[in-house]
């Protein structure tokens, strides 16, 4: 009888310890935030924009290194939010041909050089950079063109700034400014960004007779003290692609 009781106790211990999966209780978010469940087509940039929380702040709170790597059903802690919000899924649109964006050659403009920058940010677009540059009293968006990386605009999407539309220079006369979104001290431009940059420069070269020697990085500008557009941006690869 005693042996039967011991056997019964051992059976119950093993049964509840190893065979029965106890459902995980609902996770109550810490004070000062909510959990957002990632749905199909949602990007971290859009989630941060809807909740009005910094993208980098959400990345730190969830230990995310690459904002492109989100999974459907993933729980994201949104610090500072009071309630869960609906986030519209990203629906990519067919990009407008680069030649149409650049427009016809302006006969009164004398563009002679092209300078390439990186934003040194994980994401962004022409609109967000314009707001930042206005706060810095730079007269709005510094660049003539911005090429997205999928975190704020389409991957490889070319956006035209007001300076190009009005054929206005920035701080250097006759110098076209192109910015690629991303921090290229840590990662290279995406293939879509690189191809868009090639296409854009090819058109500008032909329209304004810009030589290969006049295509440069920001750090190549005389007197510039910067690493822009980053250690992982290869000017030599770009020039090789243009000369094919």
pLDDT in tens, 1-53: 444 444 444 334 333 333 332 333 334 456 688 999 988 778 887 898 899 98
For tokens 């990009």, name the residue: 95
CA distance 237 to 229: 14
- pLDDT of 32 reads 81
- Are the CB atoms for 35 and 27 separated by under 8 Å? yes
CA distance 85 to 50: 7
- pLDDT of 31 reads 63
Q: Which domain holds residue 149?
A: 98-242
CA distance 137 to 110: 26
- pLDDT of 88 reads 81
Cis status of the peptide bond prior to 75, with omega within 30 of 0: no
* Series of mean pLDDT values for 10-residue runs along the chain (244 residues): 43 36 42 85 84 88 82 88 83 73 94 97 92 92 95 91 95 95 95 95 96 96 95 95 84
117 and 223 within one domain: yes
CATH code for the domain of 52: 3.10.350.10
204 and 124 within one domain: yes
Q: In what order do the strands lie in the sheet with 145-149?
A: 155-160, 145-149, 175-180, 113-118, 215-217
170 and 219 within one domain: yes
Q: How many residues does the chain have?
A: 244
CA distance 106 to 97: 18
142 and 49 within one domain: no
Q: At what angle do helices 235-242 and 191-208 cross, to 10 degrees?
A: 60
| Domain count of the fold of the chain | 2
217 and 137 within one domain: yes
Which runs of consecutive H residues, i.e. helices, occur in the chain? 2-14, 44-51, 55-61, 98-102, 126-135, 162-165, 191-208, 235-242
113 and 70 within one domain: no
Entry pTM: 0.67
183 and 67 within one domain: no
- Three-class SS state of 133: helix
Q: How many helices (H) and strands (E) would you count in the chain?
A: 8, 7
227 and 108 within one domain: yes
- pLDDT of 73 reads 84
Torsion of CA 183, 184, 189, 193, to 10 degrees: 50
Q: Is residue 8 part of a domain?
A: no
Q: Is residue 132 part of a domain?
A: yes
- Are the CB atoms for 13 and 53 separated by under 8 Å? no
- Three-class SS state of 45: helix
């Amino acid at each position: 009888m005693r042996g039967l009781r011991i056997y019964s106790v051992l059976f119950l211990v093993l049964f509840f310890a190893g065979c029965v999966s106890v459902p995980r209780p609902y996770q109550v978010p810490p004070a000062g935030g909510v959990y957002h469940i990632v749905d199909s087509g949602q990007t971290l940039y859009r989630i941060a924009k809807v909740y009005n929380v910094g993208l980098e702040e959400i990345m730190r709170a969830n230990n995310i290194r690459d904002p492109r790597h989100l999974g459907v059903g993933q729980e994201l802690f949104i610090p500072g939010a009071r309630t869960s919000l609906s986030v519209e899924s990203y629906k990519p649109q067919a990009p407008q041909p680069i030649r149409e964006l650049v427009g016809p050659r302006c006969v009164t403009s004398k563009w002679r050089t092209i300078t390439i920058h990186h934003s040194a940010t994980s994401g962004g677009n022409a609109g967000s950079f314009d707001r930042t540059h206005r706060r810095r009293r730079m007269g709005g968006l510094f660049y003539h063109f911005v090429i997205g990386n999928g975190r704020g605009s389409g991957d490889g999407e070319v956006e035209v700034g007001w300076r190009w539309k009005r054929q206005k220079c920035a701080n250097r006369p006759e110098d076209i400014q192109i910015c690629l979104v991303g921090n290229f001290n840590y990662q290279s431009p995406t293939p879509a960004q690189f191809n868009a940059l090639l296409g854009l420069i090819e058109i500008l070269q032909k329209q304004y007779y810009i030589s290969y020697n006049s295509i440069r990085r920001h750090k190549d500008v005389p007197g510039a003290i910067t690493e822009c557009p980053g250690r992982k941006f290869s000017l030599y690869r770009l020039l090789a692609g243009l000369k094919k």
